[in-house]
Amino acid sequence: MSRPPLNGIRVVELAGLAPAPFCGLVLADYGASVLRIDGPRSPKGDVLARHKSSLYLDLKHPPSRDVLIQLLSHADVLIDPFRPGVLERLGLSPHEVLLPKNPRLVVARLSGFRRDGKYRDMAGHDINYLAVSGVLSMLGRAADTPHPPANLLGDFAGGGAMCVLGILLALMARHATGTGQVVEANMVDGSAYLATMPRLATKTPFWGAPRGQNFLDGGCPWYDTYRTKDDAYVSVGALEPRFYDALLGGLGLDPATLPPREDRNQWPALRSIFQARFAEKTRREWEEVFDGLDACVTPVLGQAELEREGFLQRLPVHLSDTPGKPIPPGQGDWTGGTLAHGTGGEEVLSQWTGWVKGVDYTKTAGGITIGTKAKL
């Protein structure tokens, strides 16, 4: 089998919460060697640990910090999950310490708020980043408060996935220039960028109404979810006229008897009709009606159903010649299980640096101390 596309890329991931571990997970799934640096304050129970190893280093302990600096001289990427200024206070300034030591290093700094913005020194979570990005104001039903889509949009899409993009772009640039650089990613700008289409569409009739009254935000009755007879759900996305006609055909509704869909004032009445009709059959019965029919109607599947069908053992992007690493059997929930602090880290340390335990380094309470014979 061909090697994964990121084979040979060495990534040091400083332990953090969801977005940075997800960034490391994507890189690991596509072949990078990812070494997580854990310390006494590292988060416990990180499930985004598939294909990774861990090395225990207390970065407030100078000898352990020296180990990290030397380790980064052998690395391609550093993932920094901390708030602005933390690396600098640890004596690990990218421009003053890390890049002079290894000019080819890509330092990916992933923060929640903008590093130069009003909230840069404040704590926050996904909902806060979405709020100040302008995206949260667009999400939710018309008669309800703004509603976040769990922490998928800020943490994982606007944060972790955008950081992966930045790392790959920096590695491409390094291929041309020979030098690394600092990648600045934050969940505010990442989320705002993902919302480019709806933001621009607010100047058009397609998304020009208030929240929850547009075509794709729950306002449109033929782009919504409906409860079935067995208290399950189906999704409907029949935007185009031909799909809408197929929807009505599958539901057994005569267009001549329905309110015109062009009249937004009739959307509530049309929604009530759809709700009543979908409630007449079970989800499985509606699947049988719409399977193979271009009506854009599909069941709303649960995680357990996906796992039974094996759909959760697929990576998001398949490369025909250099595919990513397979998800091991029994890990269909997309996790690799938790990774205990220190698991596999010394093996990676040896592979990257050639150091031998007891000769080049010794283990201490703070992690590891470099010996005088270390091959730097």
Active-site residue identified among 46, 155, 217, 360 = 155
Q: How far apart are CA 10 and CA 227, in angstroms?
A: 48
Closest CA to 8 of 29, 25, 31: 31
Tokens found for residue 231: 């208290």
Q: Can you tell me which residue has the tokens 């079970």? A: 282
Alpha helix ranges (H) inside 84-145: 86-89, 99-101, 126-133
Radius of gyration of the chain (CA): 25
Look at phi and psi of residue 358 and say left if phi exceeds 0, alpha if psi is from -120 to 50, else beta.
Answer: left
Task: List Cβ neighbours of 101 (8 Å cut-off, separation of 6 or more).
Answer: 69, 72, 73
Q: How far apart are CA 274 and CA 225, in angstroms?
A: 10
Q: How far apart are CA 55 and CA 53, in angstroms?
A: 7
Share of the chain residues as helix, strand and coil, in percent rounded to the nearest 5 = 40, 15, 50
User: Between helices 345-353 and 62-72, what is the axis angle to 10°?
Assistant: 50
333 a catalytic residue: no
CA 267 to chain centre: 35
Transcribe 47-68 into DSSP letters: ---TTEEEEE--TTSHHHHHHH
Between the alpha carbon of residue 232 and those of residues 19, 65, 222, 248, 355, the distances in Å are 31, 53, 18, 20, 57
Q: What is the DSSP letter of 130?
A: H
Look at phi and psi of residue 51 and say left if phi exceeds 0, alpha if psi is from -120 to 50, else beta.
Answer: left
Pairing of strands 106-111, 77-80: parallel
How many other β-carbons are positioned within 10 Å of the β-carbon of residue 321?
7
Residues carrying an active site annotation: 155
